[in-house]
Amino acid sequence: MVKGKLLGFGALLLSFGVALGASVPKLTPQEMKRATQIYFDRCAGCHGMLRKGATGPALTPDVTRPLGLKTIENIITNGLPGGMPDWGRQGILSRKDIKLLAKFLMHEPPQPPLMTLSDMKKWWKVYIPPDERPTKPQHKHNWKNFMGVILRDVGKVAIIDGDTKKLVSIVDTGFAVHIFRSSGTGRYFLTIGRDGKATLIDLWLKKPDKVAEVKVCYDARSIDTSKYRGPKGDYMDKLAVVGCYWPPSFVILDGQTLEPIKIVDTSHYTWDTNDYVEEARVASIVASHHDPEWIITDKEAGKVMVVNYEDPTNLRMHLVDAERFLHDGGWDLSKRYFLVAANMRNKIIVIDSVKKKFVAEIETGVKPHPGRGANFVHPRFGPVWCTGHLGSNNVACIGTDPVNHSRYAWKLVANIELPGSGGGTLFIKTHPKSTHIWVDRPLSADPKLQRQLYVIDKDSLRVIKTINVIDELRKKGYRNIDGRIVHPEFDMYGKEVWVSVWGRKDKPTAIVVFDDRTMKIKKVITGDWVRTPTGIFNVYTTTNDIY
Ligand code: DHE
């Protein structure tokens, strides 16, 4: 399979005018250090630290050397269809950096360091100990409707009052925060950065701020918390877990202080070929509401770990064979089934968290990318879950009720075509109170489509509106705001949809609030602080896994 993938990539590169055969250019130690950092910041997420490939193809010297420097520089500058960003054209990497990176890719990848519990403890800081924290909110805001907004390239996050749309707080979180998740009660927001730094933000402080932080890996994408309250104990706000890309592992933390408790290595044998993968990274994590468990995906091995956190000293774990390469996913409406993208196989995988078993795989389109997906009850198909795609212009919906709608369960029940060609969708979202599903398309190759939002009617399963967000902003007098539109998120009431205008770091952009019913702009939140906003997370919906 991997070989097939490389051949496919090679053929694609040839069509870009590949010069085969090249010598290995020399790099000074300083250049090597800088190139390693650029690679880590921009490329490791998709191609892996060891460059063995995952969402992106392998970039080991056997692949890169035959391509030659010019071809590699060309790809880094202009991107490739199917998700490889045009780093040069976007102005994110300079010509000099692109040349350096191309040379670096001809060399053997440097071996990245590992991390021990004592390394982590050196990074661990508790700013306000649990017994000095307030016992009730110290402000009058409706904190359950707070919106957390990632200000990615400035290393901060913003907390905005969803009722008043006023900025409540800006918190320093560190390099390229990736996602927010909520604690079981919702009182704490947790963030994880690409640098493996986790932050615990107390929303009850007069001005919400971080009360603890720790770095548990060098490269990470996911975090979640213990959300189980039931006869086997109350774990609300007790534990957290970080999923690491490097070192490949998950790390269990104390939920009140972020003290690291346990590291679990996720290097595994692949589920199908039983080849050993050192860099088998943790992708998505979801917390069960009906058992003291986390569902943790192992991207490169194609396995799902169902981890019982009752007793971290004697950790119990079910290892479920799924598919490669696992990426993002979320619960179905009942929160029993976990649906996750195996994006390089164009499939969605379904895992039963009660039986802890693989249930089904469904082909949905080219590179499914659901975020957490969108759940609703369709009049004919019953409960369904939908996903968008990076590589094709469709939103696919799958029946998720094997009891009362068994005819449709784990089958593709709708394939909704988006206008224009190609994929580029990253996130889709809905709310039980809304009749709509909102879809973005920031990774389209077409700048016009990157700036669009689509609204799908839940009953007819058709796109009923295409919104050119930047044009709408211009009509309202916001002439200088530009960027890709990313991550629709509902407020707690299901009445508003918030999106980020993801622009360049040197210019402020905006967070745009739509009225879900009229699909018109209701409020534009802007200001000098609105820099590179990406993910937006509502406390209530994130805590309760409503999407
Ligand atoms: Fe994400 C979710 C990995 C690029 C914004 N992203 C996820 C998840 C994974 C992941 C594994 C699921 C986490 C979970 O649910 O526990 N993302 C990666 C990458 O490896 C990738 C492709 C490349 C990289 O180098 O990081 C990548 N992601 C991006 C972006 O460029 C985005 C748009 C902006 C950013 O942060 O840099 C981005 N990813 C997000 C967001 C979510 C996410 C907002 C959560 C969606 C949700 O609604 O839960």
Residue 361 has pLDDT above 60, yes or no: yes
Residue that the structure tokens 């998950």 belong to: 250
Phi and psi, residue 190, nearest 5°: -115, 140
Known active-site residue 84: yes
Known active-site residue 47: yes
Known active-site residue 244: no
Cβ of 179 less than 6 Å from ligand 1: yes
Question: What residues are paired with 190 via a beta bridge?
Answer: 181, 200
Contact between 54 and 281 under an 8 Å Cβ cutoff? The reply is yes
For ligand 1, atom 1, the nearest C-alpha belongs to 178
For ligand 1, atom 10, the nearest C-alpha belongs to 221
Contact between 199 and 214 under an 8 Å Cβ cutoff? The reply is no
Cut 0.85: pTM above it:
yes
**Which pLDDT value is given to residue 13?**
37
Residue 8 has pLDDT above 50, yes or no: no
Angstrom distance (rounded) from CA 286 to CA 185: 16
Angstrom distance (rounded) from CA 162 to CA 416: 31
Angstrom distance (rounded) from CA 429 to CA 244: 26
Q: Which domains does the chain have, with CATH numbers?
A: 2-104 (1.10.760.10)
Cβ of 92 less than 6 Å from ligand 1: no
**Which pLDDT value is given to residue 84?**
87
Mean pLDDT for 179-199 is 97
Residue spans of beta strands (DSSP E) within 125-187 = 125-126, 146-151, 156-161, 167-172, 177-182
Q: What's the CA-to-centroid distance between 534 and ligand 1, angstroms?
A: 10
Known active-site residue 369: yes
- Per-residue pLDDT tens digits for 209-222: 999 999 999 999 99
- Per-residue pLDDT tens digits for 156-181: 999 999 999 999 999 999 878 999 99
Contact between 174 and 155 under an 8 Å Cβ cutoff? The reply is yes
* Residue 16 or residue 330, greater confidence: 330
Contact between 244 and 260 under an 8 Å Cβ cutoff? The reply is no
Mean pLDDT for 322-338 is 97
Instruction: Look up residue 251 and give its two tokens.
Output: 């790390």
Flag the least confident range among 5-9, 127-131, 385-389. Answer: 5-9
**Which pLDDT value is given to residue 302?**
98
Residue 4 has pLDDT above 80, yes or no: no
| Catalytic one of 84, 115, 217, 492 | 84
Known active-site residue 43: yes
Residue closest to 408 by CA, chosen among 382, 374, 385, 375? 382
Contact between 193 and 174 under an 8 Å Cβ cutoff? The reply is yes
How far from 22 is each of 51, 75, 139, CA to CA, in Å?
Answer: 19, 16, 63
Residue that the structure tokens 């995906």 belong to: 297
Residue 2 has pLDDT above 70, yes or no: no
Angstrom distance (rounded) from CA 275 to CA 277: 6
pLDDT band at 1 (very low <50, low <70, confident <90, very high): very low
Q: Is 505 helix (H, G, I), strand (E, B) or coil?
A: coil
Ligand 1: nearest atom to the Cα of 328: 12
Ligand 1: nearest atom to the Cα of 542: 49
Known active-site residue 139: no
Q: What's the CA-to-centroid distance between 222 and ligand 1, angstroms?
A: 8
User: Which of 38, 179, 246 maximizes ligand 1 atoms within 8 Å of its Cβ, making it the mutation to test the pocket?
Assistant: 179
Cβ of 539 less than 6 Å from ligand 1: no
Residue 15 has pLDDT above 90, yes or no: no
